Structure 1
Amino acid sequence: MLSSDQALLERRARLLGPAYRLFYEEPFHPVRGQGVWLYDQAGKPWLDAYNNVVCVGHARPEVVEAIARQGSTLNTHTRYLHEGILDYAERLLTTLPPELGHTTFTCTGSEANDLAMRVARAHTGGTGLIVTHWAYHGVTSAIAEASPSLGQHIVLGANVRTVPAPAAQPGQSAAECGRLFADGVRAAIADLQAHGIRPAALMVDTVFSSDGVFTDPAGFLQEAVEEIHAAGGVFIADEVQPGFGRTGDCFWGFQRHGVVPDMVTMGKPMGNGHPVAGMAVRPEVMAAFGRQSRYFNTFGGNPVSMAAASAVLDVIQGEGLQRNALEVGAYLRAGLASLAEKHSLVGEIRGAGLFVGMELVSSRAERTPATREASLVVNGLRRNGVLLSATGEHAHILKIRPPLVFSRENADFLISRVDEVLGLL
């Protein structure tokens, strides 16, 4: 590590305190980004296979120019009239089912999920929330209490219940997988009711990224959604990570399962990293909250944020990045799966589009999590020019979610480096 980095670490610790965490045993210090690449101080390129936030690539010129252009003209809060927020809301809603007729904008996905829960409680009169066992939904006080993957220090809220993620077994149908997941939801509903708590919502990240990336068989969410509706609650699709074409076959992750959520939440990929996020909602679900509350988010949906978001949508749609995610994602998964012939650590490869989970196991028969080895691979790749991370309760699943402009050549580079690092273990 360069001495300047050591000085930076010491300065960071002094100024930011102990709560912030860094990736990797040897922290990474990028100074510039372009497309799918990040560059360190020496100008060395690093393949970014992790950063879903900059969905159309680092320093995307169209987004940068839109931000600068609007910022040089006007940026103010959302309590004045402005065409930008309305124009973008109309465009965004056309990508969603027609049942979702309203949008509300925030600055972060955490705020969007927090707002969704407030709306759910106003609509249902309930307070109970059901999430998956190792979910992550955000960092506000209320949502952190429904994000068990934040760690053992997180105490789940008294009105929160967790259910196992829908981890399909090989050959299992969508109906079979969905029934098992719905059994967990039914049990959680019953437990809430037994404690005098009315269910308000089932909230899931529709690729179950923190649980370990569970995307297939498509369709497994249907029965669980029916169960929460039967109990008087609503279904919230957290699309912060899977949304905006990342799964390839659909623009939104929930669409793969043939369901229409009551609310859809979105995060910073909306603005390619610019702090803009939001929620789409059925008008009838929003009605009670609108009567009871006077909601505003001072700079959620400001003119600059809307210009950034609109530019991102231009690039995704104009360059066919959803289709690119579908085709390159399939190519990448096939290449990673082929490594199982050489490396016994490689378990199941799962995912959709450019959201991929690569399971590492010490025993394929037992599917024993190879947690230590996964850490070695993540840090080995960091030393060899590739940035990614691990996910799941046992941190043994490599999480790969690069910008949507990722190419087959980029995939080949990634596969070759994973092959090399696995070969060193």
Structure 2
Amino acid sequence: MRPAQAALIDDMLRRVLAGQPAHETVPHLRRWLDFNNHRFGPVVDAPLDRDHVAILDASLAPERLAHPSQNGGENLTAWWRAQLARIAPRIGIGRYAEDRGIYDHPEAPREANPRKIHHAIDIFLPAGSKVLCPYPGTVADIGNDTERHGFGGILILRHETDAGVPFWTFYGHLAPAGLAGWKPGQVVAQGTLIGTLASEAENGDWPPHLHFQLMTHLMGWEALDVIGISWASQWELWREICLDPNIILGIGANCAAPVARSPLQLVAERRRHFAPSASLAYAQPLKIVRGAGCHLYDETGRAYLDMVNNVAHVGHSHPRVVEASARQMAALNTNSRYLHDHLAGYIKRLADILPPELSVIYLVNSGSEANDLALRLAQAHTQARDVVVVDHAYHGHLSNLIDISPYKFDGPGGGGRPSHVWVAEMPDTYRGRLRDGGKDIGAGYAESVATLLMDMIGLGRKPMAFIAESIQGCGGQIPFPPGYLDAAYRHIRREGGVCIADEVQTGFGRVGTHWWAFETQGVTPDIVTMGKPMGAGHPLAAVATRPEIAAAFAGGMEYFNTFGGNPVSAAIGLAVLDIIRDERLLANARARGMQLMDGLRVLAGRHPAIGHIRGLGLFIGAEFVQDRTTLQPDAAALKTVIEGMKDAGVLLSSEGPHHNVLKVKPPMVISEQECAHFLGLLDRVLTELGR
């Protein structure tokens, strides 16, 4: 691109970002096109109505291809050929304004701001198909792009509105021989044959098609300068330079991708309409448009290594999850009042990976729903109401769960501890009452539970339940010391209460050695709740309990959940279990967790800001302190590190009562290379920040 053209683009972009049109003729031209679209003739000698076309969505990620290449053109060509065979004999239409993520490859390094937003509409027809002039004009330029994945033969026509405002139509992938008779300035009448579609050999190796682009400004370009795809960061400008050409084609189908808003626009819209209590991550929020494996991608195509997402358990957009969801949604989605193989199969598979005592399963939609139901089951069984919880715990956002979550009721906006809730001390062996190295620390911390029970019984009350995450999350990624749950469970059961294990964050193999984190404590709860990872991003959760508890709950009103146990959710749940088994993700969690913990300990030896490393499998915390002797928390340092890691392309967040614990909970499919990449970047950021 010549310097004068680059300067023109920069000037136009500044105007657009300031809320002005890219150039003065754009508003007039838009209005004229809207009111005069009936005056355009056909562009190709083929029917382009709903009955004869099929829209091809090329925004698909390359992971969905059988053999993705690191060359975006190769990916797009392979995908187009497969789609054209599928839709034949209909005409394929490639969309305008499409973010062609198919150009990406998860392992290929990409520039920070790749060009991949499509300026035109593609019309797929056989080589030799006729291309016609849709409106009177003159030839602006002719060219022949002989590069592989280039445009082949090119023709640009100049047109004018009734008021003399110019606009241009651009035709790519034409047979070069058919353009030999045209010369710049030559008048072209509406309906004139202007060329034919080229074969693959003379068309940059693309399947034969017409790239049809409508332009409000020629930008001083010659034929070979015109670009057909642009940078996402500049799309606000290019959508003014390259208008939707369907106004001329009149296909009558959705030929344009949804309009993409800039991050600034999205922030403004959230402020106007979205709940103000919902927070955004990072000082400069990210616009994330897709995910693949352990990576998330923003609107510019930049990849971010996701080190904190324990919801995308088997990786973002896993092909088997996507396929299972789409296949079942296309067949049936209804409620659990009907028999269905997926429902029966899924609850059987869940029961097989749980202790045999926990043989009754309820399917719901979220961890909050699961914990709410767990409390109802416990109350029906015990006819009591008092609950023992662990300090700083969080169990969900429903009203009764806020009541049992010290993280919420003792936090900003909280109303304090309700009278039926009893808070046991957090068994934190780093900064708690009992530290690492002591004898019987777990049983010692569980004495807090026993003391609360004595106080409760002294008031003539009895416990309904003891509920605890099997590893504390919001409390700071804290694995309980050995023996803690065993002793706490014994205290509760002795007084007639039930034990609830909240596995919403830690279940389904995240700890690496077992399916469930409570198994690392050698206990079997009376009720287990699970959620986040079950559907790998799809809303799916469950409660498992003993038959006698379920029987007590069944004696009253019916429990029915409209979406719980629907065939689509069950199909997705089955796919997730299959992936965990087939890809040996428990073993991967164990190996990668050891790699991360060992690497963080090495970093702690070089960076005094890291005071403590803890975790099991891929559920890890690194606590930041100002001083390793006083253990003074350093939330400010951690916040700076998290922002620095975001800038380096890694997503993280903080946890803990003091907001000073770096939580590391990546998808279970994370690789050895990705873990090493994370550790290397963290070392670099800590060094740059002098931490």
TM-score range with shorter-chain normalisation?
over 0.9
Q: 1-side partners of 2:426 and 2:658: how far apart?
A: 14
2:412: which partner in 1? Answer: 152
Q: 1-side partners of 2:480 and 2:386: how far apart?
A: 27
2:279: which partner in 1? Answer: 21
2:422 corresponds to which letter in structure 1? R
Q: Shift in Å at residue 233 of structure 1?
A: 0.5
1:170 corresponds to which letter in structure 2? D
Q: 1-side partners of 2:480 and 2:395: how far apart?
A: 21
Q: Shift in Å at residue 216 of structure 1?
A: 5.0
2:514: which partner in 1? Answer: 250
2:255: which partner in 1? Answer: none
2:244: which partner in 1? Answer: none
Q: Shift in Å at residue 154 of structure 1?
A: 2.1
Pick aligned residue for 1:167 from 428, 444, 464: 428
What is the TM-score with the length of structure 2 in the denominator? 0.60
Do 2:292 and 2:316's aligned partners in 1 also have CA atoms closer than 8 Å?
yes
Secondary structure, counterpart of 2:636 in structure 1: helix
Structure 2 residue 297 is matched with structure 1 residue 39? yes
Alignment of 1:49-198 (within 5 A): 49-150=307-408, 151-155=411-415, 156-168=417-429, 169-173=435-439, 176-198=440-462
1:35 corresponds to which letter in structure 2? G
Q: 1-side partners of 2:587 and 2:644: how far apart?
A: 31
Structure 2 residue 469 is matched with structure 1 residue 210? no
1:326: which partner in 2? Answer: 590
Q: 1-side partners of 2:399 and 2:551: how far apart?
A: 25
Q: 2-side partners of 1:231 and 1:178: how far apart?
A: 20
1:422: which partner in 2? Answer: 686
- Where is the helix percentage greater, Structure 1 or Structure 2? 1
Secondary structure, counterpart of 1:372 in structure 2: helix
Do 2:427 and 2:481's aligned partners in 1 also have CA atoms closer than 8 Å?
no
Structure 2 residue 581 is matched with structure 1 residue 317? yes
1:328 corresponds to which letter in structure 2? R
Count of residues paired in the alignment: 423
Deviations 1:99-153 (A, max 9, x none): 1110001000100000000000110111011111111110111011112223232
Do 1:79 and 1:298's aligned partners in 2 also have CA atoms closer than 8 Å?
no
Secondary structure, counterpart of 1:250 in structure 2: coil
1:215 corresponds to which letter in structure 2? P
Aligned-residue sequence identity (percent) comes to 43
Do 1:159 and 1:192's aligned partners in 2 also have CA atoms closer than 8 Å?
no
* Most deviating of 22-31 and 397-406: 22-31
Secondary structure, counterpart of 2:591 in structure 1: helix
| Larger RCO (CA within 8 A; separation ≥ 6) | 1
Q: 2-side partners of 1:11 and 1:193: how far apart?
A: 53
Deviations 1:292-342 (A, max 9, x none): 231011111100000000000000011110010001100110001101221
Q: Shift in Å at residue 277 of structure 1?
A: 0.2
Deviations 1:42-77 (A, max 9, x none): 111100000000100000000010001110111001
Cα root mean square deviation, aligned: 1.5
Structure 2 residue 600 is matched with structure 1 residue 342? no
Where structure 1 has 5 or more consecutive residues not aligned to the other structure, the ranges are: none
Do 2:442 and 2:481's aligned partners in 1 also have CA atoms closer than 8 Å?
no
Q: 2-side partners of 1:191 and 1:218: how far apart?
A: 26
Q: Shift in Å at residue 158 of structure 1?
A: 2.5
1:24 corresponds to which letter in structure 2? Y
Tell me: CA distance 1:197–1:21, structure 2 relative to 1, closer, same or farther (3 Å). Answer: farther
1:353: which partner in 2? Answer: 617
1:406: which partner in 2? Answer: 670
Q: 1-side partners of 2:461 and 2:418: how far apart?
A: 12
2:362 corresponds to which letter in structure 1? T
Structure 2 residue 640 is matched with structure 1 residue 382? no
Q: 2-side partners of 1:17 and 1:99: how far apart?
A: 42
1:181 corresponds to which letter in structure 2? Y
Structure 2 residue 490 is matched with structure 1 residue 237? no
Q: 1-side partners of 2:581 and 2:492: how far apart?
A: 34
Do 1:66 and 1:308's aligned partners in 2 also have CA atoms closer than 8 Å?
yes
Secondary structure, counterpart of 2:326 in structure 1: helix
1:160 corresponds to which letter in structure 2? V
Do 1:243 and 1:252's aligned partners in 2 also have CA atoms closer than 8 Å?
yes
Do 2:306 and 2:651's aligned partners in 1 also have CA atoms closer than 8 Å?
yes
Pick aligned residue for 2:529 from 259, 262, 265: 265
Q: 2-side partners of 1:257 and 1:113: how far apart?
A: 21
* Most deviating of 210-219 and 235-244: 210-219
Q: 2-side partners of 1:188 and 1:397: how far apart?
A: 28
Tell me: CA distance 1:410–1:249, structure 2 relative to 1, closer, same or farther (3 Å). Answer: same
Tell me: CA distance 1:192–1:25, structure 2 relative to 1, closer, same or farther (3 Å). Answer: farther
Q: 2-side partners of 1:227 and 1:293: how far apart?
A: 31
2:75: which partner in 1? Answer: none
2:437 corresponds to which letter in structure 1? G
Secondary structure, counterpart of 1:362 in structure 2: coil
Q: 1-side partners of 2:594 and 2:473: how far apart?
A: 18
